[in-house]
Amino acid sequence: MTTLLLPTPATQANQAASAAADSELVISAGPVAFVDDGDTATVTLTVRAADDGALAEPVSVDWRTGSGTATADADYAAGSGTIEFAAGTPSGTERSIRIPTRESDGGETAETVPVVLESRDAEVSGASAVVVRAHDLPYLDPRLSTKRRVADLVNRMTLEEKVGQMTQAERGSVAGDPAVITELGLGSVLSGGGSPPAENTPEGWADAIDGFQTQALATRLQIPLIYGVDSVHGHGNLNGATILPHNIGLGATRDPLLVARAERMVATETRATGIPWTFAPCVCVARDDRWGRTYESFGEHPALASVLGAAAVAGFQGTRLDSSKSVLATAKHFAADGDTAYGTGEGDYTVDQGITEQSRDHVEAVDLPPYVAALAVGVGSVMPSFSSIDWTDDGLGNPVKMHANDELINGWLKDDHEFDGFVISDWQGIHQIPPLASDSPTTAQIVTSVNAGIDMFMEPSQFERFHTRLVAAVQDGQVTEERIDDAVSRILAAKFELGLFEEPFADRSHADEIGSAEHRAIARKAVAESQVLLKNSRRALPLDEDESVYVAGRNADNLGNQAGGWTGTWQGFSGDVTEGTTILEGIQAVADDVTFSEDASAPTDGADVGVVVVGETPYAEGFGDVGGPEWAYDPADGGVFREEKSMSLQPGDAELVERVCAEIKTCVVLVVSGRPQVLTEQLGSIDALVASWLPGTEGAGVADVLFGDRRFTGRLPVSWPRSADDPVVNVGDADYDPLFPFGWGMSTGGRTSHLDDQRIALQDAVLDPVNGVPPAASKAIARSDVAQLEGREAVAGRILNAAAPEDGH
C-alpha cells in the first residue's frame, strides 16, 4: 500500500489524556506542516474554549517528535517540550513549535515527522505531522517536458499508488475522514450536483479543496489531486455564480466566439474556487427531445454540435491549461447518448441511459463528428455515456454498455483518433455493466471497463472497494501493468499541464470576479442571442417601454425555473436557487407600467400588451424524460412529486395563454423550457412567440430583445414539433414537417447578412400564423442552415433561392 505520512488520529496516551481533559477546552494543530528540505518547520497549536472566552485555568501541552519516514538527526532534529497557555489567554490564541530539518545531499521523496501532542488540561483534537517536501527529482522539474516528468514519476510508483491515481471519490464521502485521501493516494475528488462544502462561498470552496489537497500532498510522492465539478452552464453548485443559458440556448446563438467567451468566464469562476476540471461540454446530438438531457445538447445536427462544442472546449481550456482562467474540459457523453431509442432507458427512465440502435455508418455520421471537433482543439478528457450501443449491422439484441465498449473507447477514440487525454467514467457508470451485482463494482466490472480503455473511475462512495479490487485484479493478471501505466500516465500528464505540481492550492486571484457585473454582462448577451422569435404577427415585437405591460405565468418571476437543472442541486428546483435577475425583473427595469399576476387572476385593465411566460419546471437526467419517473427529493420539494414531464404545454399553462391572449389585444408568449413545447393549438391566438430556453441567472437579457435594445438573432437548434404524439422530428427526415424548422428564427430589424436577408424574406413569405411553416419551406430552411453551418454558404443561398415564392410573397 501507499506509504502513509500522517500519524493515526491519536496515540493511546493521547486518548487517555483526552478522556481526563476538560471537554470545554480544545487544543488543535493543522494536520500537515509542509517544509522545504533544510528549512525549519513550524507547527501551530491553537487553544479554544467552548464559550470563546478567556482561559480560566492554565493549559499545558506536551509535544515530541514521533517516528515517521524521516530519520531523526539525519533528516531532522528530534525534539520535545511543553507549550504553556496561561490563565486569561484568549480563546483562539496560537503558539508555535519549531522543528529544524537537515538538508540532504540528493533528491528524495517526501518524508514525515509525526508530532505527538498530549495534555491533561484540554482535549487534543486530531493529529499533526511535518512533511519534508519531495525535492530534486526529475518529475518535480518544470523545465523538463511533460513526457519525461510523467515517465520518471510512473517509474517511482507502486501498484497501489497507481491505482490510487485512477480512483475518484465524492466530496461528501471523504469530508468526514479526509485522511483516506492520503491512505489510498486518491487521484481525484469531485463534487456531484448539489454537493457544495459547508460554506457555499468562493472562499469556502477554496478552503475545503485546499484541505483535501493537503491530504494528497502528505503522500511520499506528493501527487496533487485534480478536483472536478459539473460546470455545465456555470459553476452551478456555487451560490452567486454567473449561470449561462443551457447548451440548447447557446446552440440558438449560432455564435462560436460568444460561446468560447462565455465558457472562458465559467472557467475563470470555477478555477477561482480551486477547481481545475469541469465535466463539460456535453457534445451530444439530441435526436429525441423527450430525452431529459436535451437541453445539455447544442442541437439536433452534428454540424452545430461540432462548431459550438469545439468553441466551448477552447473557451474552457484556453491556450494554457496552467492559467488561472483555464480548466480541463470533458467531452461527454461518449458516444451517441442523444440517439437512444425511446423505451430503452435504464430502470424507470424512458430515454436516458438507454440503447442506441443504429448502424456504424449512422453513428459515424451523426453522433461522432462533435468528438472529432473536440479532439481537434485538444480536449483533455472524455466521459463515456451510461447508454449502450446495439449495432444494427449485425442485428439487434446484443447491446454493449459504453463503459465496456472497447471498440469505441480503445478503438475509435484512442487508436484511430489518437486521443492522448484520459477517459473518466460517469457516476458509478461501471456498476451497470452486466452481470449486475449488489456489491458493485465487481472485479468483473472493473476489469472489463479498465481493459475497454477507461482511465479514471468516478466511484463516489465505493472508491475503497474499487481500489482494493483493481489492485487484486492486476496482481491476478486480469489487467496488465502496461494498461495501468497507460491510464496513470494520461492522468498525470493532465496534472502536469494544469500546473498542479507547481501550484496545487487554489489560486484565488479571480474570486472577486465571480458573479461580477462584467461576467453577468457576458451571460446577459448570451441570453439575448439565445432568444428565438418564432412568430411576430402585426409587428408585436419589439415592445414600447411606454406601453402598459401585463405579465403572467409561473416562469416569469422564478429564477429556479429559468435556470433549470444542474443549478443549486442535481435536478435544480423552483424558486430562489441562487442570485440573479428574473425575466419579470428584467421587464420591470425597462417598462414603467408593469402589472404582474402569476395566475392572471388580476384584472388586465386595458393593458396594451400581455406577456405570458410559461414552460417547464426544473429537471435533469432521467427524471426529465417524458414518461419517466418524477422527482420529489430536493428540500424545496417538501416531498411533493414534480409535474410529469411532457412535450406539450402543461394544462395550466395552455389555459393561461388562452385567457390572456383573449383579453389583451397584443399577446406575447415566452416558452421557458429545456426543449420545445407543443402549442400548435394555441398558435393562432398568439401574436408573438419566443423560445426562451433556459436563460440562467440573467433574465434581463430576455427583456433586451423584447424591448428592442438588442434585435432577435437566435435560430432554432432543434426542430419544433407539431404534435406531442409524434414529437421526433429532425432535419434530414424524409417526411420532415415540423411546426417550425431547424434554423428558423425571425428578426426585429437591424443589419443582417445577405444570406440572412434571404432566409428572413422566405420566412416572412411562408409562415402561416395558425398552421406554422409548410413542409417544403421547412426542408429548405433547415437544409440551408445545415449548409451554412458546414461552411457551404453558396449552397445555402441557392437552396433559399429555389424555395422562394415566384411572386416574391
Cβ–Cβ under 8 Å, residues 328 and 380: yes
What gap in Å lies between CA 256 and CA 379, rounded to an integer?
16
For the chain, count helices (H), then strands (E). Answer: 23, 26
Per the CB < 8 A criterion, the answer to whether 478 and 447 are in contact is yes
- Contact criterion met (CB below 8 Å) for 113 and 141: no
- Helix, strand, coil % in the chain, rounded to nearest 5: 35, 15, 50
Of 296, 347, 180, 255, which is closest to residue 567 (Cα–Cα)?
296
118, 255, 426, 507: the catalytic one is 426
**DSSP summary character for residue 746:** B
Measured distance CA(344)–CA(721) in Å, rounded = 22
Q: Closest by alpha carbon to 565, among 182, 245, 239?
A: 245
Which residue has cell 514519476? Answer: 153
The number of beta carbons lying within 10 Å of the beta carbon of residue 583 is 30
In whole angstroms, how far apart are CA 764 and each of 499, 747, 768, 773, 804?
54, 10, 9, 10, 11
CB of 248 closer than 8 Å to CB of 304: no
User: Is position 655 annotated as part of the catalytic site?
Assistant: no
Task: Give me the catalytic one of 357, 621, 625, 698.
Answer: 621
Cβ neighbours of 546 (radius 10 Å): 9
Tell me how far apart the alpha carbons of residues 541 and 532 are, in angstroms, rounded to a whole number: 12
Measure Cα distances from 758 to 534, 720, 786, 800 in Å. 17, 21, 15, 7
User: 793: buried, middle or exposed (CB in 10 Å: 19+, 13-18, 0-12)?
Assistant: middle
With CA atoms as reference, report the closest residue to 286 among 789, 728, 785: 728
Torsion-angle region of residue 540: left (phi > 0), alpha (psi -120 to 50) or beta? alpha
Is 576 part of the annotated catalytic residue set? no
| C-alpha distance from residue 706 to each of 415, 557, 609, 691 (Å) | 50, 16, 12, 12
Q: Which residues pair with 180 in a beta bridge?
A: none
**Calpha distance 498→320 (Å, rounded):** 8
Burial of 142 (0-12, 13-18, 19+ CB in 10 A): exposed
Check: CB of residue 771 under 8 Å from CB of residue 720. no
- Show which residues are catalytic: 426, 621
